[in-house]
């Protein structure tokens, strides 16, 4: 829910054309609205320059869906689920499965359990790609016990000598961890009970109800403690609304936001306290380049106050990292367990990221791992050769075929899976249903039906005679030929590749001898032979065009063009010329079938 991850979401959902779905864990969604609403209120950007407003945040909430840890979701056949990431309440690592290729995106994560959060989980299988944060690069954190002792020792020492301790921290995340440490330490040291601890963040106070609600998302320590009392109901910590409500009349500890000391209450208190050597500023986490928090870590002699004046920096500055980001030891151990073949480093400073890349390549030199460090907006392309298998289901799966047997069925693709099924099972295993197209064609014909029957029997072996009310023939049990009138016959068939071919050949045959067709006129003399040849050529050209598209006639030959490949057909000599053997064989086979359909028919 931190701003560097979630702050663009209202703009993305409300100001762009994005129409996809958005998923968050329950705790993240609860804090998201509070955090973004506070950001809009305290932002110093003019209304005209703001990327989104409160209404955009409210509308975005309606589009965000929640997901539980380890709950598998599927969107457009892409499966994903999430693991605990540590870091902050609700943080999650997402595993995304696309056609069997798994990608793990860690986001911000921590492998170290602290006082209220579990450590990041280790997925039960290795991903093909791991997109992992590199915030701390090759740096190493101190052990938690050492950090906590340093922190409490500094605080105790300063307040015991009458000083003030400023802890600039982001309102949510590490702040709750530090408050738990301070409240527990104060409870164990009665001599400190007269020294107040203030938590200066109205936002954090509102979000504390979320922390109290999602106790079950925390570690066993907090859950066990909750059985007796709410660990976030602090006994020694008071809220501080503003500097006007603060009585600075003695030693105290104040945790205030923002963590970078850019503005706000933390900066106001810093400007007041920085000149006194009895006071201390504890930087508890990662400091961004360019912020005052980063500057004072180098202990300059002077600092620039908010009013523009220079002031001496006499207060103590301690950097004690409680940042819940993985350090090098956590990152390398995590990757050593997963052994992903592809690693993409993100969320880090370029130089630190480069050092981490080199160290990982050195550590896993024998693993053949790829480590990439893309810049912002740089595209990374990876190619995976996933096996594609089709599963036979339904009637096709009732009997195991023997080796060499041919299995015929419909290949159905759903997302990234394939199934083979009988056409009759299509409506059972899919939301589709099979249908048929019945073709009916009337052809002018004034000849004797018996002549037509004889011609069909010459051409086809399977011609059946039906005793219907009108003369009827059944060709290959597929095409029905009826003489429904004195001057025409009707062809009817259920459309499929074979039936369509049979019906086409019958039509061509009838056009060849039908008295009503100009192509069927018997030449009276040698002078009309060329005209008959032209008619025959047009028939071939028409049939080839229906199959191959672009067909032209040049000097009595047909020129067929398919995807830039040219073939020349001489239907008189029954020859095909083409440099592409596959296309040549296809055309030769087609030509032979046409010849078989037309040649047996006499023109006399």
Residue 468 vs residue 582, higher pLDDT: 582
429 sits in which H/E element: helix 426-429
Question: CA geometry: angle at 104 spanning 101 and 107, to 5°?
Answer: 155
- Pairing relationship of beta strands 78-84 and 92-98 according to DSSP bridges: antiparallel
The CATH 3.60.15.10 portion of the chain extends over 3-136+333-372
pLDDT, tens digit, 9 for 90 and up, residues 535-567: 677 888 888 887 888 888 888 888 998 888 899
Cis geometry, peptide bond prior to residue 258 (ω within 30 degrees of 0) = yes
The CATH 3.40.50.10890 portion of the chain extends over 144-319
Range scoring the smallest mean pLDDT among 10-19, 211-220, 519-528, 556-565 = 519-528
Give me the pLDDT at residue 449, please: 85
Q: Residue 153 in 3-state DSSP?
A: helix
Give me the pLDDT at residue 243, please: 82
Cα→Cα distances 247→198, 243, 252, 289, Å: 11, 8, 10, 33
Give me the pLDDT at residue 1, please: 65
DSSP-assigned letters across all residues of 185-237: HHHH-GGGTTS-EEEE-HHHHHHHHHHHHTGGGS-HHHHHHHTTS-TTS-SSE
Domain 3-136+333-372 fold: Metallo-beta-lactamase; Chain A (3.60.15)
Mean pLDDT of 175-183: 89
Mean pLDDT of 315-332: 91
* Token pair for 246: 């603060």
pLDDT, tens digit, 9 for 90 and up, residues 242-269: 788 788 889 999 998 888 888 888 999 9
Say whether pLDDT at 429 is over 60: yes
457 sits in which H/E element: helix 449-459
Question: CA geometry: angle at 355 spanning 378 and 114, to 5°?
Answer: 95
20 Cβ partners below 8 Å, 6+ apart? 75
C-alpha to C-alpha distance for 290 and 271, rounded to whole angstroms: 18
164 sits in which H/E element: strand 164-168
Cα→Cα distances 559→508, 546, 599, Å: 21, 14, 21
- Locus of tokens 């930087």: 283
Confidence class for position 523, pLDDT limits 50, 70, 90: very low
Give me the pLDDT at residue 345, please: 96
C-alpha to C-alpha distance for 497 and 548, rounded to whole angstroms: 15
Domain 144-319 fold: Rossmann fold (3.40.50)
Give me the pLDDT at residue 22, please: 96
Domain 438-520 fold: Double Stranded RNA Binding Domain (3.30.160)
DSSP-assigned letters across all residues of 303-367: EE-TTS-EEE--SEEEE-----S--HHHHHHHHHHH--SEEEEESS-HHHHHHHHHHHHHHTGGG
Using a 10 angstrom Cβ sphere, with 0-12 exposed, 13-18 middle and 19 or more buried, the burial of residue 566 is middle
Q: Are 168 and 260 in contact (CB under 8 A)?
A: yes
Give me the pLDDT at residue 517, please: 46
What single-letter DSSP state applies at residue 43? -
User: How many alpha carbons fall within 13 Å on the CB side of residue 197?
Assistant: 22
C-alpha to C-alpha distance for 570 and 78, rounded to whole angstroms: 53
Q: Are 79 and 97 in contact (CB under 8 A)?
A: yes
Return the closest-CA partner of residue 597 out of 473, 456, 454: 456
Using a 10 angstrom Cβ sphere, with 0-12 exposed, 13-18 middle and 19 or more buried, the burial of residue 522 is exposed
Mean pLDDT of 103-131: 92
Say whether pLDDT at 519 is over 70: no
230 Cβ partners below 8 Å, 6+ apart? 212, 215
For residue 236, indicate whether it is catalytic.
no
The CATH 3.30.160 portion of the chain extends over 438-520
Task: Phi first, then psi: give them for residue 445, nearest 5 degrees.
Answer: -160, 120
Mean pLDDT of 382-411: 88
Q: Are 283 and 168 in contact (CB under 8 A)?
A: yes
Catalytic residue among 325, 347, 383, 571: 325
Give me the pLDDT at residue 604, please: 36
Give me the pLDDT at residue 55, please: 92
Say whether pLDDT at 5 is over 60: yes
Give me the pLDDT at residue 535, please: 64
C-alpha to C-alpha distance for 2 and 35, rounded to whole angstroms: 8
How much is the mean pLDDT over the chain? 87
C-alpha to C-alpha distance for 333 and 457, rounded to whole angstroms: 81
* Token pair for 357: 């890349």
């Amino acid at each position: 829910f931190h701003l560097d991850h979630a702050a663009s979401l209202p703009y993305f959902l409300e100001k762009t054309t994005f129409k996809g779905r958005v998923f968050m864990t329950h705790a993240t969604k609860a804090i998201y609205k509070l955090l973004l609403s506070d950001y809009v209120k305290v932002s110093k950007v003019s209304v005209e320059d703001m990327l989104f407003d409160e209404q955009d945040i409210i509308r975005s909430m309606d589009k965000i869906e929640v997901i539980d840890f380890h709950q598998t979701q599927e969107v457009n056949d892409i499966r994903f689920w999430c693991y605990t990431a540590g870091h902050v309440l609700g943080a999650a690592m997402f595993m995304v499965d696309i056609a069997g290729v798994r990608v793990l995106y860690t986001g911000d994560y921590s492998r170290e359990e602290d006082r209220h959060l579990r450590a990041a989980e280790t997925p039960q299988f290795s991903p093909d790609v791991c997109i992992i944060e590199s915030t701390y690069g090759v740096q190493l954190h101190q052990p938690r016990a050492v950090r906590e002792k340093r922190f409490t020792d500094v605080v105790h020492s300063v307040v015991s000598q009458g000083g003030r301790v400023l802890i600039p921290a982001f309102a949510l995340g590490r702040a709750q961890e530090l408050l738990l440490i301070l409240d527990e330490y104060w409870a164990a040291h009665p001599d400190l009970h007269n020294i107040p601890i203030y938590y200066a963040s109205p936002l954090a106070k509102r979000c504390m109800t979320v922390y109290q609600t999602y106790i079950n998302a925390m570690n066993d320590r907090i859950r066990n403690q909750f059985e007796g009392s709410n660990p976030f109901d602090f006994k020694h910590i008071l809220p501080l609304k503003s500097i006007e409500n603060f009585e600075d009349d003695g030693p105290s500890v104040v945790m205030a936001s923002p963590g970078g000391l850019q503005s706000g209450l933390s900066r106001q208190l810093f400007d007041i306290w920085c000149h006194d050597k009895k006071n201390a500023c504890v930087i508890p986490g990662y400091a961004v380049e360019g912020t005052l928090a980063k500057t004072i870590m180098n202990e300059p002699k002077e600092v620039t106050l908010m009013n523009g004046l220079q002031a001496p920096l006499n207060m103590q500055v301690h950097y004690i990292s409680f940042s819940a980001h993985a350090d090098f030891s956590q990152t390398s151990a995590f990757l050593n367990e997963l052994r992903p073949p592809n690693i993409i480093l993100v969320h880090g400073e370029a130089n630190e990221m480069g050092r981490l890349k080199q160290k990982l390549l050195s550590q896993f030199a024998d693993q053949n791992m790829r480590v990439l460090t893309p810049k912002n907006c740089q595209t990374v392309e990876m190619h995976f050769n996933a096996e594609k298998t089709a599963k036979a289901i339904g009637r096709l799966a009732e009997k195991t075929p023997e080796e060499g047997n041919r299995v015929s069925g419909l290949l159905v693709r759903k997302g990234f899976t394939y199934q083979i099924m009988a056409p009759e099972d299509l409506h059972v295993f899919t939301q589709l249903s099979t249908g048929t197209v019945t073709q009916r064609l009337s052809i002018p014909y004034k000849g004797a039906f018996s002549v037509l029957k004889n011609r069909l029997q010459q051409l086809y072996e399977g011609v059946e005679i039906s005793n219907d009310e009108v003369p009827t023939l059944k060709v290959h049990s597929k095409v029905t030929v009826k003489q429904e009138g004195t001057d025409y016959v009707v062809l009817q068939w259920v459309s499929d590749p074979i039936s369509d071919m049979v019906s086409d050949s019958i039509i061509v045959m009838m056009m060849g001898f039908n008295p009503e067709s100009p192509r069927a006129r018997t030449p009276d003399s040698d002078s009309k032979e060329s005209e008959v040849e032209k008619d025959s050529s047009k028939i071939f050209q028409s049939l080839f065009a229906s199959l191959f598209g672009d067909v032209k006639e040049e000097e009595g030959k047909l020129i067929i063009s398919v995807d830039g490949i040219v073939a020349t057909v001489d239907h008189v000599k029954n020859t095909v010329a083409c440099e592409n053997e596959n296309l040549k064989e296809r055309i030769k086979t087609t030509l032979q079938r046409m010849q078989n359909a037309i040649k047996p028919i006499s023109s006399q």
